[in-house]
Amino acid sequence: MSNFVVRRLLHAVSAMVLLVATVGGWDLLRLTLVCAAVVALLLDWARIRLSTVGKYLERRAPLFKPAEANRLNGATWLCVGYALASWFPPMAPAGGILVAALADPAAALAGGLVRPSHGKTAPGTVAALIVSLVALWLVGFSWPAILCGAVVAAALERWPGPLDDNVLIAPGVACVVWLTA
């Protein structure tokens, strides 16, 4: 299985972290995500700064993009985004995390069909929008929250700024669905 496919599957499967809230509640989910974000940041710092750690992680988990050699990787950004989203009142974090877990891989897969270089594409944005609509509907938000959250997710997925879109989608969607619910 290619690096691209494995990264997308791991991204989607990361939504399973929401099971923590069903078992132990929202406070446990928040604690879990904050601890995971701290560990991810420390590991990524070590990967970037300490060549022996970087080489070890690359051998054990060869999932890093070449562009991530000297910057935080997408999984770390995603983890931090989930932790930020967790501070919104329940059920907003569930919407933000589920959308972040599913919309970004959908956009990458749809965009990759059109432009194999994996750049941002219109079909990728449409895929992110559709997946976000379905995810927010499954969580049970009102139609205004679903529509606003999906549009924000699609816009953030196209984010061209210096921050990775993985850190923006979950808290951005959580904030919008909380404000419009």
User: What is the pTM for the complete model shown?
Assistant: 0.91
Asked if 44 and 76 touch (Cβ cutoff 8 Å), the reply is: yes
SS3 call for 115: coil
Lowest-pLDDT range of 56-60, 99-103, 106-110:
56-60
Query: Residue 128 is encoded by which pair of tokens?
Result: 């992110």
For residue 87, the enclosing domain spans 3-180
Asked if 99 and 107 touch (Cβ cutoff 8 Å), the reply is: no
Q: Where does the pLDDT of residue 159 fall: very low under 50, low under 70, confident under 90, or very high at 90 and above?
A: confident
Which has more pLDDT, 163 or 150?
Answer: 150
Q: What is the pLDDT of residues 123-146, one digit of tens each?
A: 999 999 999 999 999 999 999 999
Q: Where does the pLDDT of residue 117 fall: very low under 50, low under 70, confident under 90, or very high at 90 and above?
A: low
**Residue 72 burial class via C-beta count within 10 angstroms: exposed 0-12, middle 13-18, buried 19 and up:** buried
Number of domains in the chain: 1
What DSSP state is assigned to residue 71?
Answer: S
Measured between its terminal Cα atoms, the distance across the chain in Å is 40
132/33 Cα distance (integer angstroms): 21
Asked if 44 and 64 touch (Cβ cutoff 8 Å), the reply is: no
